[in-house]
Amino acid sequence: MMYKEINLPTWYKPRREDLVILRALMSQNKGMRALILFGPPGVGKTALAHAVAEAMNAEEIYFLAHHWVSEEDLFVKLDPARVAGLAGGVYSEIEECYRPGVLLRAALSSRERPTVLVLDEWDKAPERCDALLLEFLQEGKVYGPFGECWEALPENLFVFITSNEMRELSEPLLRRALRYRMGFLPPEVEADLIRKGSGVPITVARLIVTFLNIIRTKGLTAPSLQEGMRLAQTLKVTESALDVRLLIEGWLCKTPEDWEALEKEVPQPHAVLWGEWKKVRGKE
């Protein structure tokens, strides 16, 4: 099944690069279509996968990786109670003893309808898990414990793998997917999203985005759009510039160096934001 360029839902604000990457992904007409998304938290990696699933009216199968991901989590788990019953003479089809892992669920779903598989924060999974993905991405096959084999319908399955780059992904895994490093949204887009999501005026939203980008470029961490949104949403509880400083440090600055970098570029940033916020409160 071939897909034309998809129309992403209006809640997702795509970059030009997003659209180019999606066109490249959708244009593949052989094998599994897989995309590895790199970038810091908050740039929209998972959101892009959700948007594609919604645009395609696809079944979305989501899996959040962790340090203890096992082969059973990915392929097939055996239900101990059913296996014990089978061993004790209770008749049951062997398939009823299985609990499908996330790759088997995606394979089975793809036989019925378009399916988007999201393997989120894959860099948290042990490195050995990269190897477990290889044949699935190459052949779309999942094997059971007794030699069973289930095959996905590759043209109906899209795999999105996200990484916050806590570890390097294996080179063989990288070879089997299109790769895309996502940056933060343009400042004007982030400001508009903060304005819409918090109700603050655009001048306050722009100032918060300025703070975000100073810390991202001059500090030690990279605060996300969501953290900027939370700062905007909680400004209503402040009663002084010192209160605003507490929130800036609490939402945007994860290290003392982040605050130092911000204050070096914008002297007394809490006073500046408080002054802008007071204008809003004075009009209420």
pLDDT tens-digit series, residues 116-141: 999 999 999 999 999 999 989 998 99
Residue at 123: amino acid letter:
D
Computed over every residue of the chain, the mean pLDDT equals 90
More confident residue, 119 or 92: 119
Q: What is the spatial distance between Cα 161 and Cα 266, in angstroms, rounded to a whole number?
A: 37
> CA distances (Å), 60 to each of 54, 68, 113, 114, in order?
8, 23, 11, 9
- For 155, which DSSP code? G
CB burial string 241-276: b at 16+ within 10 A, e below: beebbebbeebbbbeeebbebbbeebeebbebbbeb
Q: What is the pLDDT of residue 81?
A: 52
Q: Say whether pLDDT at 238 is over 60.
A: yes
What are 140-199's pLDDT values in tens digits?
Answer: 999 887 788 999 999 999 999 999 999 999 999 999 999 999 999 999 999 999 999 999
Tokens of 157: 């399955």
pTM exceeds 0.85, yes or no: no
Q: What is the spatial distance between Cα 94 and Cα 82, in angstroms, rounded to a whole number?
A: 9
- For 199, which DSSP code? -
Query: 16-181 maps to which CATH number?
Result: 3.40.50.300
